[in-house]
Structure 1
C-alpha cells in the first residue's frame, strides 16, 4: 500500500522538520510520518533506493538521516518542493509508491 493521497485531511499536521511540513503520527525511530505537502514522501514506507533523488530534473530531494528506522537509515526529503514542476517522474519511479505530488496542495 502506497502513500495516502489524502494525507493532508486524514492526518494531523505535527510540525516541521528542516522547513518541511510533517504529518503524523510520528514516534521515532519506527514512525516518522509523511514529510512535505505539495511533494510528499511517506517516510514509513520509503526504502531510500534514491531513484527519485537521482532522476528529479529540478533537484527537489535531499538525503536525510533516519537512524534505526526499520525500512532504511536514510530517507529522501522534499527539501525544495517549491521548485517542483509537476512532471510526476518521482511518483512514477518510486518502487513502493511512497511519493505523492498534488498541484492543488501548493
Structure 2
C-alpha cells in the first residue's frame, strides 16, 4: 500500500527531532508520519535500512521505537533539509514508506 502521498494534509500531532509528525500518534503502536520534505510513515516502516544506506547526504538515522508491532526502530528523517531529491530512498524502500517532495 505505501505512504499516503497526501499525509501533509493531516493534522500535525507534534514535532520530533526538528521535524513535524503528521496524523494520529498513540505509541507504541501508532507513530504517524515523520517529516515534511522527506516523510517516513513510521506505521509501515520495517527498518530494513535500505534508505539509510542509499542516501548520499545522510538524511536518516535510526530511532528506537520499542514495542512497535512492525519494527522496534525506524529510519528517522532527522536531517531532511539536507535532501537533494535524488529519490534513492524512495526507490529502495521495500514497503514504499517514504515520500519526498521539495518545500
Q: Does 1:90 align with 2:83?
A: no
Give how far 1:2 is off.
Answer: 0.4
User: Distance between the aligned counterparts of 2:53 and 2:8, measured in 1?
Assistant: 26
Give how far 1:18 is off.
Answer: 1.6
| Secondary structure of the structure 2 residue equivalent to 1:22 | strand
Q: TM-score, normalised by structure 1?
A: 0.95
User: Distance between the aligned counterparts of 2:38 and 2:32, measured in 1?
Assistant: 14
User: Distance between the aligned counterparts of 1:74 and 1:15, measured in 2?
Assistant: 19
Aligned to 2:79: 80
Question: 4+ runs of 1 displaced by more than 3 Å?
Answer: none
CA contact (8 A) 2:7 2:23 kept: no
User: Distance between the aligned counterparts of 1:102 and 1:27, measured in 2?
Assistant: 26
Structure 2, unaligned runs of 5 or more? none
Superposed, 1:28-39 pairs within 5 Å as: 28-39=27-38
Q: Does 1:55 align with 2:54?
A: yes
Aligned to 1:12: 11
When the two chains are superposed, the root-mean-square deviation of aligned CA atoms in Å is 0.6
Q: TM-score, normalised by structure 2?
A: 0.98
Equivalent residue pairs, number: 103
Structure 1, unaligned runs of 5 or more? none
Give how far 1:97 is off.
Answer: 0.2
